[in-house]
Amino acid sequence: MLLDIFVYFEEAAQVSVAFIIGAVIGLEREFRSKPAGFRTMILICVGSCLYTILSKESNGVSPDRIASNIVTGIGFIGAGVIFKEGISVNGLITAALIWITAALGMAVGYHNYPIAIVVASMVVVALFVLEPVQRFINNLHKVKDYRIKANGDGEVLRNQLDNFLTMAEANFRCMKVLKEDNNAVYIYRIGTPNRNYDAVNNFLLMHKDVQTFDS
């Protein structure tokens, strides 16, 4: 009886640690108004920890199967937060955090507290400390991808845009040409000398042959 009570307290401590780890990671996502925020990360971490605990206690089911099913289920949740906006893909960091939060919950469920604490600390450093570093690197090598839908074949637009970018001393390349509703769609990768894209945007806004564009 006393042994059972000890086991219950130990398992309660495990899910409590998972709760704290999920809360710490979720706070950062909530602060940035991301799809998977505070409560979501807590539930993912605690749920993964609970499934891991149950897998160790089950006699008829292999713990490996339950662990693999946790990873599969987390993959579906992660895929749900990835979305395409224009030609940009958003939500990859949140999806990666969902994946690693589940792994941290599993580590706690297996009593591997040292590695869980070390990895959780690395995640916090990557989220809070390394973000300014990433912004600095992006500012040094910033380019933009433009999706430009033209009227008709868009040959006049393409020639004038190339001339404009050449005169502006911008680095550019036409990555792809598509056909959509009998209109040409150009995918351009553009890098301006001063990383100021207002002139490019104004050119596209004012050009009569541009139907729509996004970057």
Confidence of residue 86 (pLDDT cuts 50, 70, 90): low
CB 137, CB 190: distance < 8 Å: no
Confidence of residue 70 (pLDDT cuts 50, 70, 90): confident
Q: How far is CA 19 from CA 48, 75, 105, in A?
A: 11, 20, 9
Cα dihedral 180, 88, 40, 63, rounded to 10, equals 90
Rounded mean pLDDT of 185-214? Answer: 87
Instruction: State the average pLDDT for the chain.
Output: 84
pLDDT digits (tens, 9 = 90+) for 158-184: 999 999 998 888 888 888 888 888 888
Give the pLDDT score at 59. 67
DSSP percent split of the chain into helix, strand, coil, nearest 5: 65, 15, 20
Give the pLDDT score at 137. 73
Rounded mean pLDDT of 136-151? Answer: 80
Give the pLDDT score at 22. 93
Token couple for 2: 């006393």
CB 113, CB 17: distance < 8 Å: yes
- DSSP of 195-214: S--HHHHHHHHH-TTEEEEE
CB 208, CB 140: distance < 8 Å: no
- DSSP of 154-167: -HHHHHHHHHHHHH
Q: Which domains does the chain have, with CATH numbers?
A: 2-139 (no CATH), 144-214 (3.30.70.260)
Task: Tell whether the model's pLDDT for residue 14 goes beyond 70.
Answer: yes
Rounded mean pLDDT of 87-110? Answer: 86
Rounded mean pLDDT of 107-131? Answer: 90
Task: Quote the pTM value.
Answer: 0.70
Task: Tell whether the model's pLDDT for residue 2 goes beyond 60.
Answer: no
Rounded mean pLDDT of 78-82? Answer: 79
Q: How many CB atoms lie within 10 A of CB 6?
A: 10
Separation between Cα atoms, residue 18 and residue 111, nearest integer Å: 11
